[in-house]
Structure 1
Amino acid sequence: MRLHRNLVFATIDALSEIFNEGSYADKVIEKTLKRDKRWGSRDRSFIAETTYDIVRWKRLYSEIADVKQPFKREDLFRMFTVWAVLRGIELPDWPQFAGTPERRIKGRFDELSKTRKYRESIPDWMDELGEKELGADTWTREIKALNNQAPVVIRANRLKITPKDLVAVLAQEEIETHNLKNYPDALVLKERANIFKTKAFQNGLFEVQDASSQRVADFLDVKPGMRVVDTCAGAGGKSLHLAALMENKGQIIALDIYGNKLKELKRRAKRAGAHNIETRSIDNNKVIKKLYNSADRVLIDAPCSGLGVLSRNPDAKWKLQPEFLDKIRETQQQILQQYSKMLKKGGKMVYATCSVLPSENQKQVEFFLNSDEGKDFKLLKDEKILSSDSGYDGFYMALLEKK
């Protein structure tokens, strides 16, 4: 691989913004890729993948390079050098790479790789918490899996097409996909590509949605004609899946505290041809109270640490703080206590998170069931999805029934 100056410099600029200004990696990369219209798909993919790689391995690379935050420009070049040497990429004769100590870099890598927190490049507190909650062996396997680049998985929109037909349609646009066993609507891309530019996407034939996330709507056991409330709908990936499972019959009320996310959901629903979704912004408690005892099904896809999706959001490792976890656990329990009141007697509710920590998952459900509000509920089943077992996002879901 030959390194091109403008691509390397664009990567360094992106890293500076992510590390020193606290910007979100996906937004920075999106902006960076628009910088030069002459860049082809290979150039773009170099910038995106290299930036994500160095973000993912920040702790390990900065330790090897012996640099500390905030990173100066020469520090970022030293980290880039570590990345290149460990990948066997020949460094060009630029002043930034003069006198690169290749043997020292490789030796330091071997030495640091003996310790999990450096090898997997995570903060001390996260390493300690993961081991405490999951046990040393499971955590070691899980954090290794969460450092792999996430595959691109899409969900065929059955309101418009079957997964089998979607494979053929995408093949005509030179996008190769294959079905995923045990995931009825999922296809995985053989190679990463910009699928948002395809006609198939613009015509609403599919949505990008991780395989584990696709399990949640199925888990809720919906039927056409039901009244379903998606309480933390966000931009609506699961609402859209529910609409397809309900064949556009019945009503899905999509709630969120962020109005801009619901606007995006409306756009997505229109493209998908999902006509049974109604969005409501939670701007006061009345919105929730009006729905008490009215829903056949309630989905609580609760806000969480996001530790199960580190493979697609590697910068979350550096943004997440232990204090946030304490706050989010409180929020999760408040949401469970309050939103569960929307369910009719005999109705079913799913509590789900994209976290692998029992304190955000099983323990929250146990606490709820032992509370006044939860005494009328029983746990029908729950499922814990580890990335190390599935190869996809880490997830948790519990199905509860109101007696």
Structure 2
Amino acid sequence: MTDTKVVTRNTREIALDILIEILEKGDFSHTLLNRTLKTYSDLTKQDRSFITRLVEGTLERLLTLDFYINSYSSVKVGKMKPLIRTLLRLSVYQLKYMDQVPDSAVCNEAVKLAGKRGFKSLSGFMNGVLRNIARNTKEDYHSLEQKDRIGYLEVAYSTPRWMIEKWLKEYSYETVKGMLAAQFEESRGTTVRVNQSVNTPEELLEILKKENIAAAKGIYNDTALKLLNYETMDAIKAFSDGRFTVQDESSMLIGFISDVKAGDYIIDVCAAPGGKSLHVADLLKGSGKVDARDLTEYKVSLINENIARLGYDNIEACCMDAKELDEESVGKADIVIADLPCSGLGVIGKKPDIKYNMTEEKQKELIKLQREILTTVSQYVKEEGTLIYSTCTVNKDENLDNVEWFVRNFPFQLESIEKYLPENISSDTKQMGYLQLIPGIHNTDGFFMARLKKLKCL
């Protein structure tokens, strides 16, 4: 991408190319969108917001959009040319979920863009499909709920059927419905953690106010704030100055249930981009040491960027494969944090492409990986030390099933986390040593955590 492209391409075309890279070539939505917006530096704030809404909205509603297109097209979505199906999807998203542009203009712009990209012969097809969809004002998938509840949830909440079937075996229909609906909350904002080594939450709120950044206090802890109106994180001076870092409240709870004590040695085995490592380093108040480890140099560079920005000197990052045993660490750590690779289905509200890329086969492989890593890293925990296991998913087989397998096979036992957690988190399992946060019930990402104590050898 060059500066010339900034001038010659409109916002819809930029969104189209981003979506093609994500949907047809497998790029990651959150990184590609941020990278592209940085490249097109001449865009106005309004244009950047339009592109972001169009890309994220199309991804969030993909299966719903395909339902509409397949209902009015003689050629099904799967048989279309990649550019045509992507252009139809983003255009239908505008028709159904965005009011800024008249329907006629959406249809005309789609036809023009198809012609510009070499598909002028399909102008009549594009125009016919979009105008038929525009004329249909009825939410015609709602009738599905009476005869096929899973099919209704699949279309209404744009989530693959296998996922819904899996969750319905573990949760009630209403819980699953609420969990699916939560991914579309428009006022989600960005949750950040205050860097207490340089400012209090009250001080940061005043600083953000001077930057014209709207912020509200967190729900579950005093060091969390939610930012509600900003263009890019890098443009916020308080962020560049290290006064806060991006971290969901669910993730912050890991620091609290770790029960960090002055002088502790902590190993975070899958740390990037470093949120939990940085939090426990902050809680140590300059004492102790945190080893933040991850698999690649790129991931370690992300941790190091955050360490430098926040200014902590009791944390180091290094490149290490969590599956490979580090002999020098055996029996050394007071606390091991194992927030392991998972299906990520608790954060589909932030990364909607995850739900389309995950499969049952991939998820089963992840469970094997989680158990392999736990087998290795549990050896780093001292006798009577603590292992924190967590994931950002809601699947029982990656969460509680893994914990139960672990305590059957290793000298660890669950410890109550009730005293470390806010009273306003509703859960019947805190005393049992674990917590499953569920979107739609809790005001956080979907997230699982468990605290395990290593037993003393007899």
Residue 92 of structure 2 corresponds to: 82
Matches within 5 A, 1:87-166: 87=97, 88=99, 89-91=101-103, 92=105, 94=108, 96=110, 98-99=127-128, 100-101=131-132, 102-104=134-136, 106-111=138-143, 115-149=152-186, 150-166=188-204
Match of 2:454 in 1: 402
Q: Following superposition of structure 1 onto structure 2, how do residues 167-206 of structure 1 map, counting pairs within 5 Å? A: 167-206=205-244
Q: For 1:206-245, what aligned pairs fall within 5 Å after superposition? A: 206-245=244-283
Deviation at 1:159, TM superposition (A): 1.3
The normalised TM-score by structure 1 is: 0.92
Greater relative contact order (CA < 8 Å, ≥ 6 in sequence)? 1
Deviation at 1:278, TM superposition (A): 2.0
Q: Once the two structures are superposed, what CA deviation does each residue of 1:62-104 show, in whole Å capped at 9, x if it has no partner?
A: 1201242465333333223321222344131726364512233
Deviation at 1:34, TM superposition (A): 3.8
Q: CA deviation at 1:340?
A: 1.1
For 2:68 and 2:323, the matched residues in 1 are separated by: 51
Q: Distance in 1 between matches of 2:285 and 2:226?
A: 24
Partner of 2:32: 28
Instruction: Classify the secondary structure of the residue corresponding to 2:250.
Output: coil
1:153-178 Cα offsets, whole Å, 9 max, x none, are 11111111111100001111111111
CA gap 1:63/1:206 in 2 versus in 1, 3 angstroms? same
Whether contact under 8 Å (1:145, 1:391) holds in the other structure is: no
Which stretch of structure 1 is more off in the superposition, 265-274 or 70-79?
A: 70-79
- Aligned alpha-carbon RMSD (Å): 2.2
Q: 1:383: Cα distance to partner?
A: 1.3
- Per the alignment, do residues 305 and 64 of structure 1 end up closer, same or farther by CA in structure 2, a change over 3 Å counting? same
2:384 is the alignment partner of 1:384: no
For structure 2, the residue ranges without an aligned partner over 5 or more in a row are: 1-8, 71-75, 112-126, 147-151, 417-432
Secondary structure, counterpart of 2:222 in structure 1: strand
SS for the counterpart of 2:440 is helix
Give the whole-Å Cα distance in 1 for the aligned partners of 2:41 and 2:252. Answer: 35
Q: Do the aligned partners of 1:234 and 1:258 also contact (CA within 8 Å) in 2?
A: no
CA shift digits 1:354-398 (9 cap, x unpaired): 011111111111111111xx2343443211111111222011111
Secondary structure of 2:336's match? strand
Match of 2:385, SS? strand
CA change 1:95–1:308 in 2 (3 A) is closer
Following the alignment from structure 2 to structure 1, what is the Cα–Cα distance between the partners of residues 394 and 339?
14
Residues 113 and 119, structure 1, Cα contact 8 Å, conserved in 2: no
> Residue 252 of structure 1 aligns to a residue in which SS?
strand
Alpha carbons 2:178, 2:441 under 8 Å: kept: no
CA distance in structure 2 between the aligned counterparts of 1:155 and 1:48, rounded to whole angstroms: 24
* 2:47 equivalent to 1:43: yes
Taking structure 1 as reference, are residues 250 and 68 closer, same or farther at Cα in structure 2, changes over 3 Å only?
Answer: same
Q: Secondary structure at the match of 1:213?
A: helix
Aligned residues: 398
Q: In the alignment, is the contact (CA less than 8 A) between 1:347 and 1:402 conserved in 2? A: yes
Counterpart of 1:83, as a letter, is Y
Q: Which amino acid aligns with 1:324?
A: K
Match of 2:116 in 1: none
Instruction: Single out whichever of 44-53 and 277-286 deviates more from structure 2.
Output: 277-286
C-alpha distance in 2 between matches for 1:34 and 1:244: 31
Task: Specify the SS of the correspondent of 2:66.
Answer: helix
- SS of the residue aligned with 2:140? helix
Partners in 2 of 1:196 and 1:254 — Cα distance?
A: 23
Secondary structure of the equivalent of 1:148? coil
Deviations 1:321-369 (A, max 9, x none): 1111111111111222221111111211211110111111111111111
| Residues 56 and 315, structure 1, Cα contact 8 Å, conserved in 2 | yes
1:324 matches 2:333: no
Query: 1:195: how far off?
Result: 2.6
One-letter identity of the residue aligned with 2:167: G
Per the alignment, do residues 402 and 95 of structure 1 end up closer, same or farther by CA in structure 2, a change over 3 Å counting?
closer
Q: Distance in 2 between matches of 1:95 and 1:62?
A: 20
1:375 to 411, 431, 440: 411
Which residue identity lines up with residue 64 of structure 2 in the other structure?
Answer: L
